[in-house]
Each structure stands twice: as C-alpha cells, then as structure tokens.
Amino acid sequence: MSNSVLVIDDSDSVRYHIISTLKNVSLFDQYREARDGIDGFKSVLSAKPDLIICDLEMPRMDGFKFLQLVNSRDDLRGIPIIMLTGREDRDLKIKGLEQGACDYVTKPFDAGELVARVNVQLKIKALQDELKISNELLKELSNTDPLTRLYNRRYLTHALNSELVRARRYNESLSFIILDIDHFKKVNDVYGHQNGDTVLSAIAGVVQAGRRCYDIAARYGGEEFVLVLPGTSLEGGITVAERLREDVRTISFRPPLENLSVTISLGVATFPSTQIDDEDSLIRQADEALYRAKQNGRNRVEAMAEGPI
C-alpha cells in the first residue's frame, strides 16, 4: 500500500529541502506540497495523507488555523502533523500541541532529526491503525453470531430499541419478523449437528440476501432468526415473510443433505399497534404469531392478531 506525505510551507526552498531529505531515505511513495494552510487543507480533503509537515507562520492561513480545520473533522484527526517553526517559543509550541500537533521541528532543521521525528510519528500511526482495526474486529465479533455471521441477540436488543424510538418519533411503521426452522431437531438427530450447522448457515444466507441495506437480520437463538424492517407496514412485512418462506423451501443442499427439504414458520408484528408499546411487546406479538403458524401446520406465515392502528 502506497503512503504519502504533505509538506505545507510558503517557502519553495524549505519545501524542496524537506521533500529531498525524505526522498533520500525513501520514507514515502508520494510527496505532495502546498504553499499555505488553505491549499494544504484542500489537498488533505482531496486525498488524505499519512503524515503532514506544516509551517506555523504562513500567509492567508497559518498553522494554527490549519490544525483547527483538520481536527474539526473526525475522519482527519488520526493524521499525524509535525509543525515547523523558525522561533524557539515555548508558548507557541505548547499551543500547537494543545491544538493537535504531534511534534515540532525548528527551522533551520537538521536532516537526521527530521527523519527521526517523522519515523516516530509513522510508527505511532501504524500502531494506532492496527489498534483501530483490532477494535473494529472486536466490535464486529461482539455483535455477530460466529456461525451465521448475522447480528446476534445482544446487538438486536440495542438496535431494535433504537429503531422503535425512531419509528415513534417520525410516525413510521416498523415490522418485526421472527422465523423458526420446522422440525430442526430431526435434522440434528438424523444428520448430526455439523450438518445442522450447514442448514442454519444456508437459511441465514437467504435471510441476509433478502434484506434491504437498512434492515437488520439477526440470529435470535438456536434455530430462530429475526428481521427488523424499518418503514414497513404489516402488509409489507407479510410479503417479505412469504418471500423468505418460499426462498427457504427451494434451498438445495449437497450430500449428505441432498434429500433434505427444509421449511420455516414465520410470525409478523408491526408497530404502531394498540398492543405494542415497546420492543418486548413487539417481539411478543411476533412470537405469538409464530406459535400460531406452527399450530396451524407449519411452513406458513401468520401475522399479529390485531393490525396496526
């Protein structure tokens, strides 16, 4: 992966000296430059660099204002910025560090010192990037069911609450589908739990493929899955549920499951309704509809007893 540095200074000779020094040690693949903070910020917005070296005193926009602009945006705050100054002023340096600078280099600078300070900031950035990736992975793992790669029940609880609050605030419908694999215990008993996991993963794939980008698909527990459908009426929820039922019925499996035919039963509930005032009652209404689907022969969709108000 290529990396880049942006050098911002109103002096052509200083920019040339800095870039030549860094090129001599091959620290970067791309070297960009700007004459002042305004052009520098435009350059950052067009393509985010891995490191910025910025003069403190420049026409039109100085280094302090440039720091403020960069740190006003969340997507730019992780870029290390080394400030350049021709003055040995302790208060100026403290102010720059407080406003987001990572380090200072005093002009005229020693080439070895500049390279060393740049190397330190690149190493820190690399560690921060690795930490960010690790944190994102941990977050994904904490919210995801390891078998099906759908959201887990923990994430669902939080997300459903947020969607219900949003639906109430904007007076929108919110449908909730819960589905259960019919006679799944027999699948595990006949084919074993490993093949049972294959069935679960296949149905999770159907559920995932059938959702819109803002719908929420989750494994609710065991052989139960749910879909949260923002902005969807009861009729719309029933339509989605029927499509899922048909799609699951047509799944074909590889040996030793080639003769297996799987069906699902589904229950649908929708907010707003006189029977629903929170996420627990929404889930309960869908669960009761699912129970009726099983009682009425399975491989079918049932809706909540009372339609939305």
Closest CA to 9 of 116, 94, 114: 114
Place of tokens 């340096």: 93
| Interatomic CA distance for residues 105 and 192, integer angstroms | 66
| Interatomic CA distance for residues 272 and 167, integer angstroms | 8
| Greatest distance between any 2 Cα atoms in the chain | 85
What burial class does residue 29 get, using C-beta atoms within 10 Å of its C-beta: 0-12 exposed, 13-18 middle, 19+ buried?
A: exposed
Closest CA to 175 of 97, 276, 94: 276
**Per the structure block, which two tokens stand in for 190?**
């006949």
> Is 223 designated active site?
yes
- Complete DSSP assignment for 39-80: HHHHHHHHS--SEEEEESS-SSS-HHHHHHHHHTSGGGTTS-
Provide the CB-side half-sphere exposure for 301 (13 A, CA).
19
| Interatomic CA distance for residues 235 and 308, integer angstroms | 10
SS (H, E, C) 210-243: CCCCCCEEEEEECCEEEEEEECCCHHHHHHHHHH
| Interatomic CA distance for residues 306 and 309, integer angstroms | 9
- Residue 144: which residues within 8 A CB-CB, separation 6 or more? 150, 151, 152, 155
**Could you say which of 163, 223, 279, 302 is catalytic?**
223
Active-site positions read 223
